[in-house]
């Protein structure tokens, strides 16, 4: 283990670089599948309202699809769109043979129940990996379509070359989007998993013993750098815009980097991987759909 007095810094887990390599491979796969089956994989993205962050995410997803040859179908709906209308649209997309993946961009307006929308999506087209069926498959150790951000985190972990079996993994945050499926991913990889949340007593003590820290609470600087165990792997899912326009995460990066063995930057760590895994899931859904 690295001495606590050692001034060397952690290796950077570069999500941009890994994402670029994976997208190159996905693009080749898409071209081959399109040639073989006479159509490209199709992804339908539903955006309700005009949330600026959501608009950026949707625009980035569409651009990524176009670059790789995936057909991107956009449904930009007014904020007052009814839940009934959305359910009708999802039903149409479920039945459309040219649509392999369906994604509802979250958050949705308050009058719409996101869980109802997610459960209405055909699990075979649930490329976000949020449907209870797909989460259940992961829990049963028979993964189908997997939640994009946790799956991306696992790809980043694999880049370290470190075997997760027997490692102490601590997840900060218990959301349905990241924390809970992340726990299932790490269990599948053989780690001993602790999930911390807003009711956790003495968060510091949990993090101090962790070989792997996944910070996904959505609270800037929550994870202090001096809590990090020497040589631990730190993956920061949080992203926050500061007053000067710069981005930061849930982890005190500069201090944590002095202790960790590996760490993701913000931006450029988990973010690029989330969209890449969405693209990967869309191709996987297409293969399942056409029986490839």
247: three-class secondary structure by DSSP: strand
**CB count in 10 Å sphere of residue 12:** 14
Residue 126 is among the residues annotated as catalytic for this protein:
no
Residue 242 is among the residues annotated as catalytic for this protein:
no
Close Cβ partners of 52 (under 8 Å, ≥ 6 residues apart)? none
Of the candidates 105, 211, 236, 258, the residue annotated as catalytic is 105
Helix ranges, the chain (H): 15-37, 52-68, 83-95, 114-120, 132-139, 148-159, 179-188, 203-208, 253-257, 270-290
Residue 128 is among the residues annotated as catalytic for this protein:
yes
Of the candidates 29, 61, 167, 211, the residue annotated as catalytic is 61
- Dihedral (CA of 3, 17, 242, 204) sign: negative
3-state helix vs strand vs coil in the chain, percent to 5: 45, 15, 40
Longest dimension (CA), the chain: 61
Of the candidates 100, 128, 211, 236, the residue annotated as catalytic is 128
DSSP 78-112: -TT--HHHHHHHHHHHHH-TT--EEEEPSP--TTS
User: Residues with catalytic annotation?
Assistant: 61, 105, 128
């Amino acid at each position: 283990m690295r001495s606590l007095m050692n001034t060397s810094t952690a290796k950077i887990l570069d999500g941009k670089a890994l994402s670029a390599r994976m997208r190159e491979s996905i693009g080749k796969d898409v071209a081959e599948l399109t040639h073989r089956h006479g159509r490209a994989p199709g992804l339908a993205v539903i955006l309700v309202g005009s949330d600026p962050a959501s608009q950026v995410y949707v625009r980035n997803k569409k651009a990524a699809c176009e670059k790789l040859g995936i057909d991107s179908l956009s449904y930009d709906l007014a904020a007052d769109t009814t839940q009934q209308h959305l359910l009708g649209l999802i039903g149409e997309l479920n039945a459309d043979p040219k649509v392999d993946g369906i994604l509802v961009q979250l958050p949705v307006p308050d009058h719409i129940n996101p869980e109802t929308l997610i459960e209405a999506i055909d699990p075979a087209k649930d490329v976000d990996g949020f449907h209870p069926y797909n989460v259940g498959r992961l829990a049963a150790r028979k993964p189908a379509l997997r939640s994009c951000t946790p799956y991306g985190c696992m790809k980043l972990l694999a880049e370290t070359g470190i075997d997760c079996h027997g490692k102490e993994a601590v997840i900060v945050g218990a959301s349905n989007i990241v924390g809970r499926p992340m726990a299932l991913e790490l269990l599948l990889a053989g780690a001993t998993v602790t999930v911390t949340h807003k009711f956790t007593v003495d968060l510091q003590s949990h993090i101090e013993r962790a070989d792997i820290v996944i910070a996904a609470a959505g609270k800037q600087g929550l994870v202090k750098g001096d809590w990090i165990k020497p040589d631990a792997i730190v993956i920061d899912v949080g992203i926050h815009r500061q007053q000067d326009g710069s981005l930061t995460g849930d982890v005190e990066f500069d201090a944590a980097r002095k202790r960790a063995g590996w760490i993701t930057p913000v931006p450029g760590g988990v973010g690029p991987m989330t969209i890449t895994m969405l693209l990967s899931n869309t191709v996987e859904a297409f293969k399942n759909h056409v029986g490839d």
